Protein backbone atom coordinates (compact mmCIF):
# COMPACT_ATOMS: atom_id res chain seq x y z
CA UNK A 1 0.00 0.00 0.00
CA UNK A 2 2.91 2.38 0.70
CA UNK A 3 3.94 2.34 -2.97
CA UNK A 4 0.35 2.99 -4.09
CA UNK A 5 0.02 5.82 -1.57
CA UNK A 6 3.10 7.45 -3.06
CA UNK A 7 1.60 7.10 -6.55
CA UNK A 8 -1.70 8.60 -5.38
CA UNK A 9 0.04 11.58 -3.75
CA UNK A 10 2.16 12.15 -6.86
CA UNK A 11 -0.88 12.09 -9.11
CA UNK A 12 -2.92 14.43 -6.91
CA UNK A 13 -0.02 16.88 -6.49
CA UNK A 14 0.43 17.00 -10.27
CA UNK A 15 -3.26 17.68 -10.87
CA UNK A 16 -4.13 19.55 -7.64
CA UNK A 17 -7.71 18.22 -8.00
CA UNK A 18 -8.76 14.95 -9.60
CA UNK A 19 -11.90 12.83 -9.76
CA UNK A 20 -11.77 9.74 -7.56
CA UNK A 21 -13.02 7.57 -10.42
CA UNK A 22 -10.27 8.90 -12.71
CA UNK A 23 -7.67 8.24 -10.03
CA UNK A 24 -8.83 4.62 -9.77
CA UNK A 25 -8.50 4.25 -13.54
CA UNK A 26 -4.99 5.70 -13.62
CA UNK A 27 -3.78 3.40 -10.83
CA UNK A 28 -5.70 0.42 -12.19
CA UNK A 29 -7.47 -0.39 -8.93
CA UNK A 30 -11.14 -0.67 -8.00
CA UNK A 31 -13.13 2.36 -6.78
CA UNK A 32 -13.51 0.61 -3.42
CA UNK A 33 -9.74 0.24 -3.07
CA UNK A 34 -9.03 3.85 -4.06
CA UNK A 35 -11.61 5.15 -1.61
CA UNK A 36 -10.00 3.18 1.22
CA UNK A 37 -6.59 4.56 0.24
CA UNK A 38 -7.95 8.11 0.14
CA UNK A 39 -9.63 7.66 3.54
CA UNK A 40 -6.24 6.64 4.95
CA UNK A 41 -4.44 9.62 3.39
CA UNK A 42 -7.16 12.06 4.46
CA UNK A 43 -7.01 10.78 8.03
CA UNK A 44 -3.30 11.59 8.04
CA UNK A 45 -3.93 15.11 6.80
CA UNK A 46 -2.25 14.62 3.42
CA UNK A 47 -5.25 15.23 1.15
CA UNK A 48 -8.86 16.37 1.29
CA UNK A 49 -12.02 14.90 -0.23
CA UNK A 50 -14.62 17.06 -1.93
CA UNK A 51 -17.73 15.84 -3.82
CA UNK A 52 -16.13 12.92 -5.65
CA UNK A 53 -12.75 14.62 -5.97
CA UNK A 54 -9.41 14.24 -4.18
CA UNK A 55 -7.63 17.56 -3.68
CA UNK A 56 -4.62 19.06 -1.96
CA UNK A 57 -5.09 21.50 0.89
CA UNK A 58 -3.70 25.01 1.30
CA UNK A 59 -0.17 25.50 -0.05
CA UNK A 60 0.85 26.61 3.46
CA UNK A 61 -0.57 23.48 5.08
CA UNK A 62 2.07 20.94 6.08
CA UNK A 63 -0.09 18.06 4.85
CA UNK A 64 -0.11 19.59 1.40
CA UNK A 65 3.66 20.12 1.45
CA UNK A 66 4.18 16.54 2.56
CA UNK A 67 2.16 15.25 -0.39
CA UNK A 68 4.35 17.10 -2.93
CA UNK A 69 7.41 15.04 -3.98
CA UNK A 70 6.47 12.52 -1.30
CA UNK A 71 8.69 9.71 -2.61
CA UNK A 72 11.85 11.86 -2.67
CA UNK A 73 11.15 13.10 0.85
CA UNK A 74 10.62 9.54 2.03
CA UNK A 75 14.03 8.49 0.66
CA UNK A 76 15.68 11.46 2.36
CA UNK A 77 14.03 10.47 5.65
CA UNK A 78 15.12 6.85 5.30
CA UNK A 79 18.73 7.91 4.82
CA UNK A 80 18.63 10.25 7.83
CA UNK A 81 17.19 7.45 9.97
CA UNK A 82 20.37 5.41 9.47
CA UNK A 83 22.21 7.87 11.77
CA UNK A 84 19.98 7.04 14.72
CA UNK A 85 20.52 4.04 16.96
CA UNK A 86 18.03 2.08 19.01
CA UNK A 87 17.44 3.62 22.43
CA UNK A 88 18.40 7.13 21.32
CA UNK A 89 16.60 10.37 22.13
CA UNK A 90 16.42 12.91 19.30
CA UNK A 91 14.79 16.26 18.62
CA UNK A 92 12.78 16.73 15.42
CA UNK A 93 11.37 20.09 14.33
CA UNK A 94 8.47 20.45 11.95
CA UNK A 95 8.62 19.91 8.19
CA UNK A 96 7.62 17.31 5.64
CA UNK A 97 10.94 15.43 5.50
CA UNK A 98 11.13 15.59 9.29
CA UNK A 99 7.63 14.11 9.58
CA UNK A 100 8.66 11.15 7.45
CA UNK A 101 11.84 10.76 9.51
CA UNK A 102 9.73 10.49 12.64
CA UNK A 103 7.66 7.80 10.95
CA UNK A 104 10.79 5.90 9.87
CA UNK A 105 11.98 5.88 13.47
CA UNK A 106 8.58 4.81 14.78
CA UNK A 107 8.43 1.90 12.34
CA UNK A 108 12.04 0.78 12.08
CA UNK A 109 13.81 1.56 15.35
CA UNK A 110 13.38 0.29 18.89
CA UNK A 111 13.00 2.32 22.05
CA UNK A 112 13.34 5.74 20.41
CA UNK A 113 12.28 8.96 22.14
CA UNK A 114 11.33 11.93 19.97
CA UNK A 115 11.15 15.45 21.39
CA UNK A 116 9.23 17.73 19.03
CA UNK A 117 7.31 20.98 18.86
CA UNK A 118 5.17 19.62 16.01
CA UNK A 119 1.61 18.60 16.77
CA UNK A 120 1.40 17.39 13.16
CA UNK A 121 4.24 14.92 13.75
CA UNK A 122 2.64 13.78 17.01
CA UNK A 123 -0.63 13.10 15.21
CA UNK A 124 1.08 11.52 12.20
CA UNK A 125 2.85 8.82 14.25
CA UNK A 126 0.28 8.42 17.00
CA UNK A 127 -0.70 4.89 15.94
CA UNK A 128 2.80 3.49 16.53
CA UNK A 129 3.15 2.14 20.04
CA UNK A 130 6.89 1.43 20.06
CA UNK A 131 8.00 5.05 20.31
CA UNK A 132 8.02 7.59 23.12
CA UNK A 133 6.93 11.09 22.16
CA UNK A 134 7.47 14.31 24.12
CA UNK A 135 5.45 17.23 22.72
CA UNK A 136 6.70 20.66 23.72
CA UNK A 137 4.24 23.30 24.86
CA UNK A 138 4.10 26.91 23.71
CA UNK A 139 2.22 29.31 21.45
CA UNK A 140 0.43 27.21 18.83
CA UNK A 141 0.61 28.10 15.13
CA UNK A 142 -2.45 26.50 13.57
CA UNK A 143 -1.31 26.33 9.92
CA UNK A 144 2.14 24.84 10.55
CA UNK A 145 0.84 23.00 13.65
CA UNK A 146 3.91 23.81 15.77
CA UNK A 147 4.55 25.43 19.13
CA UNK A 148 6.90 28.40 19.40
CA UNK A 149 7.82 31.22 21.75
CA UNK A 150 9.10 31.63 25.32
CA UNK A 151 7.16 28.70 26.79
CA UNK A 152 8.67 26.37 24.19
CA UNK A 153 12.11 27.75 25.05
CA UNK A 154 11.55 27.06 28.76
CA UNK A 155 10.46 23.49 27.95
CA UNK A 156 13.55 22.95 25.81
CA UNK A 157 15.94 23.99 28.56
CA UNK A 158 15.12 20.74 30.37
CA UNK A 159 16.52 18.54 27.57
CA UNK A 160 19.89 17.80 25.99
CA UNK A 161 20.24 15.50 22.97
CA UNK A 162 22.94 14.42 20.56
CA UNK A 163 20.97 15.03 17.35
CA UNK A 164 18.46 17.59 16.12
CA UNK A 165 16.75 17.33 12.71
CA UNK A 166 15.17 20.37 11.07
CA UNK A 167 13.86 21.48 7.68
CA UNK A 168 14.71 24.60 5.67
CA UNK A 169 12.88 26.79 3.18
CA UNK A 170 15.95 27.91 1.27
CA UNK A 171 19.73 28.26 1.04
CA UNK A 172 22.24 30.61 -0.52
CA UNK A 173 25.93 30.98 0.15
CA UNK A 174 25.34 34.56 1.27
CA UNK A 175 22.47 33.90 3.70
CA UNK A 176 23.04 30.27 4.67
CA UNK A 177 19.95 28.24 5.54
CA UNK A 178 16.75 30.25 5.75
CA UNK A 179 13.12 29.91 6.78
CA UNK A 180 9.93 31.90 6.24
CA UNK A 181 8.69 32.42 9.80
CA UNK A 182 10.62 34.34 12.45
CA UNK A 183 9.06 32.60 15.46
CA UNK A 184 9.77 29.14 14.06
CA UNK A 185 13.34 30.14 13.19
CA UNK A 186 13.83 31.38 16.73
CA UNK A 187 12.58 28.04 18.09
CA UNK A 188 14.98 26.18 15.76
CA UNK A 189 17.87 28.15 17.27
CA UNK A 190 16.58 27.35 20.78
CA UNK A 191 16.50 23.64 19.88
CA UNK A 192 20.01 23.77 18.39
CA UNK A 193 21.39 25.12 21.65
CA UNK A 194 20.19 21.94 23.36
CA UNK A 195 21.74 19.58 20.78
CA UNK A 196 25.29 18.47 20.00
CA UNK A 197 24.63 18.04 16.27
CA UNK A 198 22.11 19.66 13.93
CA UNK A 199 21.11 18.09 10.61
CA UNK A 200 18.98 19.65 7.88
CA UNK A 201 16.58 17.59 5.75
CA UNK A 202 15.51 19.29 2.54
CA UNK A 203 14.98 18.67 -1.15
CA UNK A 204 17.57 19.92 -3.63
CA UNK A 205 15.08 22.40 -5.10
CA UNK A 206 15.38 24.45 -1.90
CA UNK A 207 18.96 25.30 -2.93
CA UNK A 208 17.48 27.57 -5.62
CA UNK A 209 15.32 29.44 -3.10
CA UNK A 210 15.81 31.93 -0.32
CA UNK A 211 13.63 32.31 2.75
CA UNK A 212 12.99 35.56 4.57
CA UNK A 213 14.70 34.84 7.92
CA UNK A 214 17.94 33.18 8.95
CA UNK A 215 17.75 29.75 10.58
CA UNK A 216 21.26 28.88 11.74
CA UNK A 217 24.85 29.87 10.96
CA UNK A 218 26.46 27.31 8.67
CA UNK A 219 29.03 26.48 11.35
CA UNK A 220 26.19 25.21 13.56
CA UNK A 221 25.07 22.64 10.95
CA UNK A 222 26.77 19.23 10.94
CA UNK A 223 25.12 17.68 7.90
CA UNK A 224 22.51 18.02 5.18
CA UNK A 225 20.29 15.23 3.88
CA UNK A 226 19.04 15.98 0.37
CA UNK A 227 18.84 14.47 -3.10
CA UNK A 228 21.45 14.37 -5.85
CA UNK A 229 19.83 17.26 -7.67
CA UNK A 230 21.70 19.67 -5.36
CA UNK A 231 23.79 22.10 -7.44
CA UNK A 232 27.42 21.01 -7.49
CA UNK A 233 28.65 24.47 -6.47
CA UNK A 234 26.40 24.46 -3.40
CA UNK A 235 27.52 20.98 -2.41
CA UNK A 236 31.20 21.95 -2.72
CA UNK A 237 30.57 25.09 -0.68
CA UNK A 238 28.87 23.18 2.13
CA UNK A 239 31.63 20.60 2.30
CA UNK A 240 34.27 23.36 2.32
CA UNK A 241 32.49 24.63 5.46
CA UNK A 242 32.65 21.16 7.08
CA UNK A 243 29.00 20.37 6.43
CA UNK A 244 28.64 16.76 5.31
CA UNK A 245 26.21 16.25 2.43
CA UNK A 246 24.19 13.00 2.34
CA UNK A 247 22.35 12.37 -0.94
CA UNK A 248 19.62 10.06 -2.22
CA UNK A 249 18.75 9.57 -5.91
CA UNK A 250 16.37 12.15 -7.32
CA UNK A 251 15.16 9.54 -9.83
CA UNK A 252 15.19 5.80 -9.32
CA UNK A 253 16.10 3.46 -12.22
CA UNK A 254 13.15 2.21 -14.29
Please name every residue paired with 92 in a beta bridge, in sequence order, or none if there are none.
116, 165
Cβ–Cβ under 8 Å, residues 248 and 75: yes
**Phi/psi at 4 (nearest 5 deg)?**
-65, -35
Both 128 and 188 in one domain: the answer is: yes
HSE, side-chain direction, 13 A CA sphere, residue 231: 11
- Per-residue model confidence as pLDDT tens digits over 102-119: 999 999 999 999 999 999
Q: Is 65 contained in some domain?
A: no
- Per-residue model confidence as pLDDT tens digits over 47-84: 788 888 887 766 556 666 777 788 899 999 999 999 99
Both 52 and 86 in one domain: the answer is: no
Domain that holds residue 104: 70-248
CA dihedral sign of residues 16, 103, 168, 4: negative
Both 101 and 13 in one domain: the answer is: no
Both 97 and 161 in one domain: the answer is: yes
Both 168 and 222 in one domain: the answer is: yes
- Per-residue model confidence as pLDDT tens digits over 30-50: 888 888 888 888 877 777 888
**Model-level pTM?**
0.83
Both 144 and 242 in one domain: the answer is: yes
Query: Rounded CA gap, 100 and 97, in Å?
Result: 5
Amino acid sequence: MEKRSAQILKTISENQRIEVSRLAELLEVSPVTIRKDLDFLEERGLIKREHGFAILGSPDDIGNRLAVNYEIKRRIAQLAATLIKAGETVMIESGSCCTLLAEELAVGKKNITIITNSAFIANYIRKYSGIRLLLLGGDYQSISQVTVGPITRINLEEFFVDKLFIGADGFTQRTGFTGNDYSRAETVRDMARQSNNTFILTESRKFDQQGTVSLLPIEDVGGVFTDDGIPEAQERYLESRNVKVYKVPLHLPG
